[in-house]
Amino acid sequence: MTQQFYVSPEQLMKDRADFARKGIARGRSVIVISCEDGIALVAENPSPSLHKIGEIYDKIAFAAVGKYNEFESLRQAGVRYADVRGYSYDRDDVTARGLASVYAQSLGAVFTAEQKPFEVELAVAEVGASQDLDHLYRLTFDGSIADEHNFIVMGGQADKVSGAIEGGWQRDLPFAAAIRLAVRGLVTDNEAPDLPAKALEVAVLDRSSESNRGTRRAFRRLSNQDVVELLAEES
């Protein structure tokens, strides 16, 4: 008879956490910044169709780093959760807090019960009527959840990038400045001196979408052209 090797729970969890961290560290960074006009989401992503940033609901966006199939399935689950909730109650009853706690539960369940943990880190952002009412939640592979302020940096060299953002962040940044700050942060994680617009994925949650564009849906993906113009404004 072969006997099972004993592995202590501490060791098991540590191994899983190390495994997940390694997977996440291979990916490029994603930055979520709260600013005066709303919330800007910027990712380094050379693919024009496989998104790291997505819309969940009227005021809520999603950003992720790690394994694409894993965070994509979480994004779709989030859209389903939000649409069912908004359809059965009311659109105002869909909140980032509710969504984040559902994500925390599923990530936690996968981390402890499944063969392998998800190699992902997520951000759930909800834009409010004023900057104080913005919500940024960070969710990690083990299901822990953190309520962040001002900005979130996730991915490979998050510490380095985070330092760069911290230095430049101000309360009253407009979108253009926030996005340029994020790009400067992303460059610190890179060998190349600058990032072309083609390699960037940029989206915003517009604080005043209702008055400016006449729609409740605050999420707007910026086209390549928009990004080129934004980056060129810098002088």
Three-state SS at 95: coil
| Number of separate helices (H) and strands (E) present in the chain | 7, 10
The reply on whether position 19 binds other proteins by CB under 8 A is: no
Residue 127's alpha-carbon distances to 39, 58, 172, 182, in angstroms, are 6, 9, 15, 18
Residues numbered 81 to 100 that lie near other proteins (CB under 8 A) are 83-84, 86-88
Compute the distance between CA of residue 215 and CA of residue 80 in angstroms, rounded to an integer. Answer: 20
Residues that contact other proteins, how many (by CB under 8 A): 15
DSSP 8-state assignment for residue 28: P
Binding residue (CB under 8 A) for other proteins from 22, 26, 80, 149: 80
Minimal distance in Å, beta carbon 114 to other proteins? 11
Question: Between 135 and 220, whose beta carbon lies closer to other proteins?
Answer: 220
Compute the distance between CA of residue 119 and CA of residue 126 in angstroms, rounded to an integer. Answer: 24
| Residue span binding other proteins (CB under 8 A) among the ranges 53-61, 124-132, 182-190, 223-231 | 53-61
By the criterion CB under 8 A, which residues form the site for other proteins?
Answer: 49, 51, 54-56, 76, 79-80, 83-84, 86-88, 214, 217
